[in-house]
A and B are shown apart, each in its own frame.
Chain A
């Protein structure tokens, strides 16, 4: 009985994340447009885009291989599995012990690995630009993320995300300098990993400013739909991660009854709304960086994460 209930909640979590991801993207676009005094597309436009793309033919380049066709499904599967393990409205998910925070990051890393390969597959220079810049950014963003994971693991005594979220939502955590540093580093890494301004422009058409868009330039039809959905899932994953770790109010514990779950879902949707507004505000108030300023930005994130870990190694009360 308990097993069925836990299974249902895990399934509900997976479905919730999948259904809310395009809505979140639509919300961010609408908020950005409004801040720029435009009307902006309707909130459900991303859903319409995805449906339209899935119904179209795939136009495949002549030099593309079987890897090019398999990668969208791989990327979507890896990102969806990772996103379903991040607690949104309840901690203590059924399968949270199968992949901890390090494994979640590695899953996102494997999605990126295959996407970079797909960029090189067709043999054009655009794909090469995207892949080479993407792996350069990843080579700094991933260690910074791992340092943040170390900080959280040392504070909470575990690397499992559900345990960390439960710890952060309990009263034993207090306000810690190392967590403040980790929060700043996590926000910087989240912006870089999701290809938002100031690192990359998700709405660009100029190759001078492309990183992610250049890698997926040759994709069309249902493949492109899956890749866009995976990108939205990744964005909602990072926002949920920041919410469950640093703003855990309202999240239901693993022994909660149905009313607490409803409160949890409501709190989660509210956090997503606030997160999207903050993201839109941030993106419209800052300009995109030159490509070779980004390593300095990510290097600073790595240093902050390393500093937070160092503080915790030196003394447990930091």
Chain B
């Protein structure tokens, strides 16, 4: 494995982190979906490159699944859902963009420290890829925590899933069976969430979680 292979893998993983930051920066739903599509695209490229480097053809299938489902089908479907439900297209934030970015920086630093300490025995490429993957997971969680719109929380969950896939391919790949089952479970979760969103919106006329909190029956 020459230096250029390492470097391309790093650049792709780093771009994934960059796009996660870009997702934190968005405040409109359509642009968020476009950024998420780019996220999935870069993930597909990264998995394909790993397949090329590790000489593991089943990872090409993973890359195809990521490309078709996550980069094309899911964003288009979410786009349609937004139009159909008439969800307002601005994302309310709990903390401002600056604070969210600072918190994101701290999370990246944390994942660097943890991964580069814990995985001492792995090779350098795997170590650094895992560090980037953990950053993507944490940034996805941060997005879910700091956004009030249910659709944006779904997108955060999806980018978290992307980070996990990156980690799994970096650790010398998963068997295809596991990947297919994971992909289908995502699809099921997505359908369930979609149905729930429809029902919620029918019932409450909104998908803003703060409004829905008042119906929880607990006094705060």
Chain A residues with CB under 8 Å of chain B are: 174-178, 180-181, 184, 295-296, 299-300, 303-304, 306-307, 310-311, 314-315, 317-318
Contact = CB atoms under 8 A, between A and B. Distances in A.
Given A299-B97, A303-B101, A318 B10 contact: yes
A185 to B, nearest CB: 10
B11 A307 contact: no
A176 B25 contact: no
A307 B116 CA distance: 16
Contact of A176 (B10, B15, B18, B113): B10
A227 to B, nearest CB: 33
B105 A306 contact: yes
Contact of A300 (B3, B7, B25, B112): B25
A307 B108 contact: yes
Contacts, number: 65
Contacts of A174: 3-4, 7
8 contacts: A174-B3, A174-B4, A177-B14, A177-B132, A303-B21, A306-B105, A311-B112, A315-B128
A176 B7 contact: yes
A304 B102 CA distance: 11
B124 interface: yes
A279 B171 CA distance: 41
B11 A304 contact: no
With most chain A CB atoms within 10 A of its CB, the pick from B10, B25, B112, B116 is: B10
Contact of B112 (A175, A295, A310): A310
Contacts of B4: 174-175
B18 A304 contact: yes
Task: Tell me whether chain A's interface is mostly helix, strand or loop, or mixed.
Answer: helix
B49 to A, nearest CB: 12
B13 interface: yes
Given A174-B7, A303-B101, A181 B14 contact: yes
Contacts of B53: none
Contacts of A184: 18
B157 to A, nearest CB: 23
A52 to B, nearest CB: 44
A304 B116 CA distance: 21
A175 B8 contact: yes
B98 A296 contact: yes
B104 interface: yes
A288 B22 CA distance: 19
B174 interface: no
Contacts of A311: 14, 112
B182 interface: no
A310 B108 contact: yes
Given A180-B15, A307-B108, A315-B116, A300 B128 contact: no
A174 B3 CA distance: 7
A181 B11 CA distance: 9
Interface string B120-147: 0000100010001000000000000000
A103 B117 CA distance: 37
What 10 A-B pairs are tightest by C-beta distance, nearest first?
Answer: A177-B14, A175-B7, A174-B7, A177-B10, A296-B97, A303-B101, A314-B112, A299-B98, A175-B11, A174-B3
Given A174-B3, A175-B11, A317 B21 contact: no
